[in-house]
Structure 1
Amino acid sequence: MKSDVVIVFSDNNGGVKNASKSLYSAFKEKKIKTDLFNMLSNGNNLFSRIFHTVRYLKKYKSDTIIILMHFDAIFAGFFLSFLGYKKTINVIHTDLYGYYKSSGLFKKIIIKLIFTKMRRKKNIFVSKEAENRAKKYFKLQNSNCIYNITQIKLKNRKKNNDNEKKISLGIVSRLHIQKNIDLAIRVVKELNQLGGSINLKVYGDGPELERLKQYVSILNCEDQIFFFGHVDAKDEIFNSFDALISFSSIEGLPTIILESFIFNKPVYFTDCHSGPRELISPNTLPEIKTDNFEITQYGFLVKPTENENKYAFSINEQEIIYVNTLNEFIRNLQDSRFNINYDFNSISDEKIISQWQAIFYEI
């Protein structure tokens, strides 16, 4: 029997893949007939992948609901619209407006063309801030915010060992230039030079992996920074460090924050567009950013960074704030001042699936 829903994504090891697989699993549990297709399974470039994707989807009726996860899939949906597929839903996993503004001229033209054409289509954003910014700039007429499925299971919450002198910090991320992992490395090294006892564990894969490894070697801090690659086991990841950190310049909705809370780990996150503030300080306006840092019961929100000092040999004046705030964060961590008692009811899988079902009826 044909599926009622097809989820299309283009990712091998990042957040879009995880979000797509989690949504697929949640739909299956609800007995919603669902298919999952990774565009990267065929084709060597974007246009060949689009060709194979369109050919794959031709076996489905034109009234099948097709969920297009992020840009490559949305681009394929642009062509599907000319073939009579009307029930397509675009899901944007980043700050669309911020991504557009930081893109080159050619990419800006493509993004503007696609979202002008699709401004009346159903566009789903995974953070409220991302929706608000894109809706205003691209004049979107049919948008919603639905958070990603997190598959929350509050168990195996290993408490930090307060007697351990060495602090382990963790990064769990696709290793992309906009994640500013080089800045995290510089800051950790600087804190250790100032007398700290910190190591940084980096989980994930991506285009910056080899460059980051070389950078650690050049800075001579291999005994402080450790790379573990892509790891599926959440327990193994989160039980290996005391707190999650990120210096990212742009996000969608970083569900890694919620996963950190599930394992009782506080977070140190840049207050970037879009999503961190919605999770770490949920009672504040997501568009208002700190110019220094804020402490919440879940961790720290710190001034967003553009990281203009990429892969530098030392900390510059603008980066001292991150040395100071991470040092303060670690003090709070050691003193057990964070209270990770997060209210997951508003983002439960049950609620998110019901939001998706409402969208299905709507289109």
Structure 2
Amino acid sequence: MGKLRVGVIGCGSIAQHRHLPEYKANKNVELIAVCDINEERAKEVAEKFGAVAYTSYEELITSGTVDAVSVCTPNYLHAPISIAALEAGLHVLCEKPMATSKQEAEAMIAAAKASGKKLMIAHNQRFVPSHQKARQLIASGEIGKIYSFRTAFGHGGPEGWSVEGKEGWFFQKEKAFVGAMGDLGVHKTDLLRYVLGEEIVEVGSFVETSAKDFATVDDNAVCVLKTESGIIGTLAASWAYVSKEDNSTIIYGEKAILRLEEDPTHSLVVQYANGEVVKYELGKIQSNDEGGQNTSHVIDKFVDCVLLDDEPPVPGEEGMKSLEVILAALKSNETKQIVRVN
């Protein structure tokens, strides 16, 4: 099995903290190239990771030097760059949200099919041990019928860790298209779909900009979601949790309540109806806080699926279904109606 030759497009924080170090740590990868429109940043990162610096993604993807790329750019560029890379015969790992519309997402999926290359979306919440365990417990019937849930993902906002701070693309609607809802909310729609094993079919939401007066995107969103079997619950996504970040999910079932990533030591706590409590220490969720798990598993899983020619664990279709819930939430906020997810 030869090494996978990789290029990373976009050298912001997610590339510097996740993709680049995790490719570097993977013994089956040769990190060949990095690309950023900011030449100084591209050169600096290239030097640090022993790669070649590009400022044009077209040049990188047609260079013939890489087999696969990570797309770590602002959201509005995810689709055009991913499609260009797939058409150039490269495998693609794309950051979330995968696109800014269903049409773009469909075009990405079609490009992957036509080229026969892998398209994977970087939804790392599926690989968190507590989330995987909860999915197993629910699927096995041990929790009984699921009635309700609540999930939250919030921190103080990307200006604290993004390379450009408040000037960053995260806060600019024309580049980001959506704020906390797309940055954090899409992680949780993906998680809920994965853990519950059901699609979300209806959404009602409030999507506001209340904390960041310099932003043209949302920084606080609260949604009510309903799944195909009638499970109802809430999702909160926020850039206004100024102290400790929240990344917790609680699932209320007939036989037990599951508390995921709520207790600092026990990443999964199961409280049974009969009074029994089972606490699992499964390793911390990955976070930007100190002490978070140091690998997202996303990069390793992507590398494996390419080298072993397996189906990606989060293919484009899955990324699109999670995106569609976010699109429905935005529509609900605009129309003040409950919106059916396509």
* TM-score normalised by L of structure 2: 0.40
**Which structure has the higher relative contact order (CA within 8 Å, separation 6+)?**
2
- Could you state the TM-score of these two structures normalised by the residue count of structure 1? 0.38
- Please identify which structure carries the higher strand content: 2
Larger Rg: 1
